[in-house]
Amino acid sequence: MIKPVGSNELDPRFVYDTEEHSKLAKEAETLPSVTISSQAAGNAVMMGAGYFNPLKGFMNVADAMGAAEKMILTDGSFFPVPVLCLLDSADAIGDAKRIALRDPNMEGNPVLAIMDVENIETVSAEQMAVMTDKVYRTDDAEHPGVSAFNGQGNVAVSGPIQVLHFSYFIDEFPDTFRTAVEIRNEIAERGWKKIVAFQTRNPMHLAHEELCHMAMDRLGCDGLVIHMLLGKLKKGDIPAPVRDAAIRKMVEVYFPPNSAMVTGYGFDMLYAGPREAVLHAYFRQNMGATHFIIGRDHAGVGDYYGAFDAQTIFKDEVPAGALDIEIFNADHTAWSKKLDKVVMMCEAPDHEKDDFVLLSGTKVREMLANGEAPPKEFSRPEVAEILIAHYQAQN
């Protein structure tokens, strides 16, 4: 199986030993505590689950700046984005060397992790601006990722963490949330050797489904991991439980047995386009995928990124040898009226726009809200039925 990034074995920060876990949970109640941001909580969950291996905790400012500017930390290791625990104030910490990090996304703010405090630093406005520009390629406050990143505070608390739970993801998505460790174990149990991963924050229409089939066929993969984001999205995106149901139905009906695995991970979407594409590849290698599909405007939002920036960054900016996972570059896929099948648009040079079945997101949402299924060339009827029920429940 492919090795994790930067190590031979995963080092998840979750405390699995039950005796040690109980001991730490009791200790946590005696420690100074801070309720962290949703973005920081997602970072803690990802470290706990082994996805950010070999990262052991939240970065100090020097490492965060290195990640932002060159994707290289001060020790020379590779990481594509800053992983910070930002607060408005560190007053509650005082001179404590060990603190509890509380979950902002669960009632009662239970302890999510314990941190050994190594540094408490004020991040300057200039440093925040540099990180914002490098990671998001814009300082526009209307960009949802920029807004979330800059709304956390400017006091960075750094140090290694021990994670005690996986936030609301375990409770709300018990059949879908999986750690990198669990996915690696299931890949081994299934006997897969070559695995392609597909990222989604949306339901999968026919074009997405066929793109996965194309990638599997062309790469000679024996397994597909559909890996959906379960954390916070922007307003208007389909809720995770609805996406989950729609994707599971698609796999059940249209994929052969033991060829596709439906899983999810706990993290808030950054909408950082190219940089987030690299992060996605990073943690897909950690979960055991040998290949990763990146399509047009991967992890983008609005018009902030070029259509293929998330592909070219791997060639132009990612340091050589940083990742072992291979990228499957994909163009937009759509149903060809001429060929009577789904194709990558770049592979149909004799086609005009009208030769494809193309529907805007707005049009699809209108159809679903009216109880009307999109054409079969766009969406599987079983998937459309689940989405119609969701949209009509909103009215």
Active site residues: 201-202
Q: Which amino acid is located at 323 in the chain?
A: L
User: CB–CB of 156/169 below 8 Å?
Assistant: no
Q: 356-357 and 333-336 as β-strands: parallel, antiparallel, unpaired? A: antiparallel
Q: 356-357 and 195-200 as β-strands: parallel, antiparallel, unpaired? A: unpaired
Calpha distance 114→13 (Å, rounded): 10
Calpha distance 70→318 (Å, rounded): 8
Radius of gyration of the chain (CA): 21
Among left, alpha and beta (phi > 0; psi -120 to 50; other), residue 299 is left
- Residues making up the chain, counted from first to last: 395
Calpha distance 303→145 (Å, rounded): 14
Task: Determine the 3-state secondary structure of 305 from DSSP.
Answer: coil
